Structure 1
Amino acid sequence: MATEQPESPQQQETPKKKNFFTRFLDFVEWMGNLLPHPVTLFAIFALGVILISGLADWLGWNAVDPRPVGAPGRAPDGIIEPVSLLNGEGLRRIVANLVSNFTSFAPLGVVLVALLGVGVSERSGLISACIRGLVLKAASFKPKSTGKGFMALIKKPINFILTPKNLVTIAICFAAVISNTASEMGYVVLVPLAAVIFHSMGRHPLAGLACAFACVSGGYSANILIGTIDPLLAGLTQEAANIIDPEYMVHAAVNYYFMFISTFLITIVGTFVTLRIVEPKLGVYNPKEASEDLSDQSMMSPLTPLERKGLRITGIAVLIILGLLALTIVPENGVLRNPETGEILNSPFLRGIVTFIFIFFLIPGFVYGRVTGSMRDDKGIIDGMANAMSTLGLYIVIVFFAAQFVAYFGWSNLGQIFAVKGAEFLTEIGLTGPAVFIGFIAVSAMVNLMLGSASAQWAVTAPIFVPMLMLIGYSPEVIQAAYRIGDSVTNIITPMMSYFGLILAFAAKYKKDIGIGTIISMMLPYSIFFYIGWMILFYLWVFVLEMPVGPEAPTYYLMNQ
């Protein structure tokens, strides 16, 4: 009997040598997996603040308070000294304020209120219908004839842009950006829908998936609407700003102008990367790579007549709400203007922006549900609100420990001391101009690779960076806008992002042997181009055009204001 010969070295499969970038991504993934759960992380941070405060008090750390005499929160003798929490008085303070730290934590209430309204719109199907209607309308668009003469010269480039292929890509990018108002809907509905649309048009489905994922998650800080993340981050920014200025207020719309213009930047850049880089790289799709039958196109079903009727009537309801709101802020004596100055700035309207997020999702959501039959009475509203609250269990647990960490950090004066020392260091090396934001945005992007939650990351870094950059003259609103760029651009390339596993599962439907490395390499061009484009926009908008990042949002902070 012939014996089986061993394979020659040439026959044996040799493992592919990993390049530097692949090894770097493996290292990031390994480091990220070493991090504990965010709840555990904040508990460790809170304990660390207690221990460090005792050490700082024992070593006699201090810093000269740069705030002018008489400024709110200034140390009485002009010297900021640490307050130990590692003694009897500190223990009594921790025990007595455990509950109030949690219940008074600024981001908690605003997020809960905003999500009550968003939950109604999600439950009624309004958000899903809006996204499907926008994307599917673009898919069915056909350019008109170019005409003759001068009109032909104008219409040819326009019709080139508005070909179904290009227009669908634009529509998906734009819908993805605005869908992050209710982030789960963007991931769960639009990302798989985009893959189906691309596949139905004979394009590579993974290109559609990448396009939608990039703009939902990578464009997380761009929108034409105020979403639930805005009051959350504003609350954390205010908590951090209060370390330097106890009376400083940060409302949810402070980055709205910059977010609005960023929507179109992300749409344009996302479209360009999809059409010019990702789709050509993926090439022609081979259906044999799929892990299941792709003949089911149920997600491509157009809006029903009842759904279209619901959207029309909902649109009328929105116009009525806008008209009533205009009566409160447009007239000089509008009841939601500042009662003392009559201005919209620093008015009940801006301070109560979360109220209007609640109203603008609640009422249209119920109107749509009532027309379509998905929400017939108050029980449907209550179910929608309850369902939204049921998704917040983990968030509330995280907030409890994050609130303790933020409170301890503020009590200990460590934040003020670190901020003053950091500001002095930046001044000594001459890095106090706009270039300081290059490093800050880069650090935020790197931290986001290992700590994917925007709120968790900002809760940790805001108490350090916000006071530090305030002391060299920049406002909390601008600091928050810069942070949001760094936080967004690496969302799509970090396995630590909470929806990364879901995206991987969607992608596996079209490529059965797909891995994390394939997803990251596919998404990396978006991350790079978003970073470059957003950085350029930030500097042009803030420092060249000198435009505010939002209403009542100054660029600079003056210590004596």
Structure 2
Amino acid sequence: MQNTKNINSIPETIKDNPFLAWVERTGNKLPHPFLLFVYLALAVIVISAILNYFGTNTYNPKTSETYPIKSLLSGDGVAYMFTNFVKNFVGFPPLGTIITVMLGIGLAERVGLLSTLLTQTVAKAPRHLLTFCVFIAGICGSIASDANYLILIPLVAMIFHSVGRNPLAGAAAAYAAAGAGYDASLFITVGDALFAGIATDAARIIDPDAYVSAVDNYYFVACSVFVLATVGTLIIDKIVEPRLNNLHPLSTMIKERPTTDLNMTAEEKMGLKRVVFFTIGYLIFILALILPETSALRNSDGGLIPSPFLKSLVPFMFFYFLGIGVIYGKAVGKIKKIEDIPTLMAESVKTLATTLVLFLAIAQFIAYFKWTGIGNLVAFEGAHFLESVGFDGYALIVSFILITCICNVFMTSGSAQFALFAPIFIPMLMQLNIDPAFTMAMFRIGDSATNIISPMSPYFSVALVFMQSYKPELRIGTLIATMLPLAIGFLVFWSAFLLLWTALGLDIGPGVSMYIN
């Protein structure tokens, strides 16, 4: 899950470039995401009253009946807002999901397991596979959330330098992997659970029984990891690094070539070994639960798509990360007594404070959008317009991705942007028979590709600072020029991969394709 932008972290040198200065000024005009959704909720209140006054009707796709837009300024509307304020927040689907997942993943991060895995994946890579392994580790490293950027960028720059390669190219590769590949992973991440919850809530505007699982994009995003890693490797090795070697050769770096010792301690080795044993045992345990045809985790027909098992992935994730976190923490001495476990879990949840505040406003906005009937109205009218102009298929996919990636330059918080897009586009596209999970897959591409060229991203300046530790005279223009081929490459090839996936009629997740029916 991406953090909300921190404008104060953007260097003054951004003003040197007119285009970037415009991006900064435009982005600065956006309110804080919390305030943005407060304003949107207020707008829904006012619009609902106006539409109700003029007798505007909306459409119920389930019953094929029309009914008037309900006003939030009426007696019933005011009563609804006050009596359901807490319920809207507590019942917001992503809320419980993200807290539960973060309690487990956060523990694994706090004891140092995720950082050790990231470090060893890159440090032990063969020289000829170094760039590819950096991209695999960085893309999958989104499971470690923000730590991925802070660990990987300086680490890869140092490793590139130590093997005689340009450290600026190493930093660029790490930043591209962590940022432009943020929403792809071989693992189920906090972002998957968060997006699925928001998509579920938006889909229920049309279908009260709709459910989007955290694995509904898994087939596509897991395969995307290798596509993006290949694309990123080719761009770094064939375009970015040769250019940097000409402009900023290794001999001009102010840091001496390091002789780093990235070997693990005996405790870390023992911890990782125990984690492997636990993982094997946990997989055997899950298979024992779901393989029997009479398993309670299968559906009534004995299948797994859909099934209670797929709806239980969050608790399975929680117990897995809790288990490996405790095992590794005890091995390295981060957990000395049982009381340390809840303490470390509590510390991990503190990082969600900003997200929980944001959810309070998002939950009210989506609930109002749904209760008034405005959501159905926008979905029906928008779908009717798209259908009338024949705007569907590949044109629809490409256009949605482009809209998302442009907006992402100015609003780099993925959760906030999806919470804004989902209630509008998911119901609208459902009217065109587009599955909510497919809309979520399209969003992932646009939400990731332009992260690395957006000055509004808090990690844009972080990447620049790490590069400046090797070349102090580097400026924003160099960073943009370095990252632009990677951003374009990821956007073009990831979009093309989705089009190819769709053309082949492949499922993007278990039992999920482009179309609902």
TM-score higher than 0.5: yes
Give 1:295 shift: 6.7
What are the Cα deviations for residues 285-308 of structure 1, in whole angstroms up to 9, with x where unaligned?
356564xx557766x522223312
Q: Residue 100 in 1 paired to residue 99 in 2? A: no
Q: Residue 548 in 1 paired to residue 510 in 2? A: no
Give 1:38 shift: 0.9
Q: Match of 2:69?
A: 82
Aligned equivalents of 1:250, 1:355: Cα separation in 2 = 16
1:440/1:211 CA distance change after superposition, 3 Å: same
Q: Match of 1:31?
A: 26
Give the match's secondary structure for 2:309: helix
Aligned equivalents of 2:58, 2:474: Cα separation in 1 = 53
What are the Cα deviations for residues 447-473 of structure 1, in whole angstroms up to 9, with x where unaligned?
111111111001011111101111111
Q: How does 1:471-550 map to 2 (within 5 A)?
A: 471-542=431-502, 544-550=503-509
Q: Residue 127 in 1 paired to residue 89 in 2? A: no
Give 1:372 shift: 2.1
Q: Match of 2:231?
A: 269
Contact 1:370/1:376, CA 8 A, preserved across alignment: yes
Q: Match of 2:4?
A: none
Contact 1:419/1:464, CA 8 A, preserved across alignment: yes
Q: Which has the higher contact order (CA 8 A, sep 6+)?
A: 2
Give 1:328 shift: 0.7
Q: Match of 2:147?
A: 185
Q: How does 1:380-459 map to 2 (within 5 A)?
A: 380-459=340-419
Q: Match of 1:218?
A: 180
What are the Cα deviations for residues 98-122 of structure 1, in whole angstroms up to 9, with x where unaligned?
1111111111110000000111111
Q: Residue 238 in 1 paired to residue 233 in 2? A: no
Contact 1:122/1:384, CA 8 A, preserved across alignment: no
Q: Match of 1:285?
A: 249
Aligned equivalents of 2:218, 2:257: Cα separation in 1 = 42
Structure 1 gap segments, 5+ residues each:
1-17, 142-163
**Aligned mate of 1:379, from 315, 325, 339:** 339
Contact 1:289/1:512, CA 8 A, preserved across alignment: no
Contact 1:132/1:303, CA 8 A, preserved across alignment: no
Structure 2 gap segments, 5+ residues each:
1-14
Q: Match of 1:305?
A: 266
Give the match's secondary structure for 1:79: strand
Q: Match of 2:164?
A: 202
Contact 1:80/1:416, CA 8 A, preserved across alignment: no
What are the Cα deviations for residues 10-59 of structure 1, in whole angstroms up to 9, with x where unaligned?
xxxxxxxx99xx64443222211111111111111111111111122223
Aligned equivalents of 1:64, 1:171: Cα separation in 2 = 51
After TM superposition, the score normalised by the length of structure 1 is 0.86
Q: Match of 1:356?
A: 316
Aligned residues, how many?
501
**Aligned mate of 2:218, from 256, 274, 277:** 256
Q: Which moved more, 1:545-554 or 1:235-244?
A: 545-554
Aligned partner of 1:48: which letter?
A: A
Aligned partner of 1:365: which letter?
A: G
Contact 2:59/2:376, CA 8 A, preserved across alignment: no
**Aligned mate of 1:44, from 33, 39, 45:** 39
Contact 1:240/1:466, CA 8 A, preserved across alignment: yes
Aligned partner of 1:307: which letter?
A: E
Give 1:63 shift: 4.3
Give the match's secondary structure for 1:378: coil
Aligned partner of 2:351: which letter?
A: T
Give 1:360 shift: 1.8
Aligned equivalents of 1:433, 1:135: Cα separation in 2 = 39
Give the match's secondary structure for 1:325: helix
Q: Which moved more, 1:411-420 or 1:459-468?
A: 411-420
CA RMSD for the aligned pairs? 1.9
Give 1:208 shift: 0.7
1:308/1:222 CA distance change after superposition, 3 Å: same
Aligned equivalents of 1:500, 1:379: Cα separation in 2 = 38
Give 1:556 shift: 1.0
Identity of aligned residues (%): 39
Q: Residue 60 in 1 paired to residue 21 in 2? A: no
Aligned equivalents of 1:507, 1:34: Cα separation in 2 = 29
Contact 1:80/1:417, CA 8 A, preserved across alignment: no
Structure 1 stretches of 4+ with a deviation exceeding 4 A read: 286-290, 293-298
Contact 2:52/2:69, CA 8 A, preserved across alignment: yes
After TM superposition, the score normalised by the length of structure 2 is 0.93
Give the match's secondary structure for 1:225: coil
Give the match's secondary structure for 1:536: helix
Q: Which moved more, 1:388-397 or 1:196-205?
A: 196-205
Give 1:309 shift: 2.1
Aligned equivalents of 2:475, 2:84: Cα separation in 1 = 47
Give the match's secondary structure for 1:435: helix
Larger Rg: 1
Aligned equivalents of 1:403, 1:515: Cα separation in 2 = 40
Aligned equivalents of 1:24, 1:62: Cα separation in 2 = 44
Contact 1:196/1:297, CA 8 A, preserved across alignment: no
Q: Which moved more, 1:230-239 or 1:361-370?
A: 361-370
Aligned partner of 1:285: which letter?
A: P
Aligned equivalents of 1:206, 1:275: Cα separation in 2 = 12
Give the match's secondary structure for 1:352: helix
Aligned equivalents of 1:503, 1:398: Cα separation in 2 = 26
Q: Which moved more, 1:357-366 or 1:232-241?
A: 357-366
What are the Cα deviations for residues 428-451 of structure 1, in whole angstroms up to 9, with x where unaligned?
111123321111111111111111
Give the match's secondary structure for 1:248: coil
Contact 1:132/1:302, CA 8 A, preserved across alignment: no
Q: Match of 1:7?
A: none
Aligned equivalents of 1:396, 1:119: Cα separation in 2 = 16
Q: How does 1:325-344 map to 2 (within 5 A)?
A: 325-338=286-299, 340-344=300-304
Aligned equivalents of 1:442, 1:54: Cα separation in 2 = 33
Give the match's secondary structure for 1:434: helix
Give 1:379 shift: 2.6
